[in-house]
Structure 1
Amino acid sequence: MADEELREEGKKGGKLKWIIIGVILLALLGAGGYFGYTMFLAPKDGDQAAEQAPAEDDVKPLETLEGTLVPLPVFLVNLADPLGRRYLKLGMEVEVRDPETQAAMGKYEAKIKDTLLLLLSSKTYDSLSTMDAKLQLKQEVADRLNQILGKGSVLRVYITEMVIQ
């Protein structure tokens, strides 16, 4: 009977020994993975600081500037399709640089509407059906508004509603 108890204790000790070895191996693998990441894959501190701190004489690109959103009226136009049976309903908001530009948008509202109506009515269904075409339309609207309001006044154009029928 004593002999059987020793064998059971030996079996339990053997299982416990393998569990401890497994835990130690997992800890070593984790430490090795962390070491490998920090030495080879993680960005260097100097590189990160250089990317975050722009030079003093650099001008902020338009992508980093934030402005005020100004809604434009919803445009409903006939598209320039051969049969003339397609319509475009387009709602947009424009992000402007400063309050002066926002005031200028109210002042030049008739010019803005005229310019955008002419631009939108010159489009066809095919020229608006792809994602690239929609992005190009946003850029064209921004360019036309910047011609009226002054270069760099309009930062971004957001399409809030678009229906083509």
Structure 2
Amino acid sequence: MSTMADDDLTQEEGKKKGGMLKWIIILVVLIALGVGGYFGYTMFIAAPSEDDAATSEMTDGDQEPLENLEGTLVPLPTFLVNLADPLGRRYLKLGIEVEVRDEEASAALTAKEAKIKDALLLLLSSKTYDGLSSTKAKIELKQEIADRLNQVIGKGGVLRVYITEMVIQ
């Protein structure tokens, strides 16, 4: 009978140890989830602090963030180009207005109109219908136009590009 009692005691101690081990594992998993959740929240969901936002929005040196700058809108002529589709039967009619930083950039747009038309015609005629059909593609096109204009008139002269008319036929 003593052997049976010893076996019962050993099983009870094993159950206690197994039960305690289960709670320790659960506690470690909960702590890991909490730390991971906090890290994910701070890195991906939470808005950046004012210091981080100010440094990431700075363009060059001591200039103001682009979002705070108000510029002058300058309309460009309407562009009508053949798209680079395989059959060559699609056309793009694009009207844009450009927000420039100051009067100097506005004057540069006027003075370098031929270079600007050339750069934008080459850019637009290289696009396809499929390459312009999504909203994401249109946003990328606006950025590409701004980049080309800044290459022609000088870095940072163009703040934003607005598409005022877009017809693909």
Shorter-chain TM band: 0.5 to 0.7
Choose from 77, 88, 93 the match for 2:92.
88
The amino acid of 2:129's aligned partner reads Y
Residue by residue over 1:115-143, the C-alpha shift from the partner in whole angstroms, topping out at 9 and shown as x without a partner, is 00000000000000000000000000000
Are positions 1:136 and 2:127 aligned together?
no
**TM-score, with normalisation over the residues of structure 2?**
0.64
Q: CA deviation at 1:63?
A: 1.6
**TM-score, with normalisation over the residues of structure 1?**
0.65
Task: Name 2:77's counterpart in structure 1.
Answer: 73
**CA distance in 1: counterparts of 2:62 and 2:155, whole angstroms:** 18
**CA distance in 2: counterparts of 1:119 and 1:163, whole angstroms:** 16
CA RMSD of aligned residues (A): 1.9
**CA distance in 2: counterparts of 1:71 and 1:154, whole angstroms:** 12
Task: Name 2:114's counterpart in structure 1.
Answer: 110
Task: Name 1:41's counterpart in structure 2.
Answer: none
User: What pairs up with 1:7-156 in 2 under 5 angstroms?
Assistant: 51=50, 59-156=63-160
Q: CA deviation at 1:61?
A: 1.4
**CA distance in 2: counterparts of 1:99 and 1:158, whole angstroms:** 18
Percentage identity across paired residues of the two chains: 75
Task: Name 1:162's counterpart in structure 2.
Answer: 166
Q: What runs of 5+ residues in structure 1 fail to find an aligned partner?
A: 1-49
4+ residue stretches of structure 1 with deviation over 3 A? Answer: none
**CA distance in 2: counterparts of 1:159 and 1:61, whole angstroms:** 22
Q: How many residues align?
A: 114
**CA distance in 1: counterparts of 2:63 and 2:103, whole angstroms:** 20
Local SS of the residue matching 1:82: coil
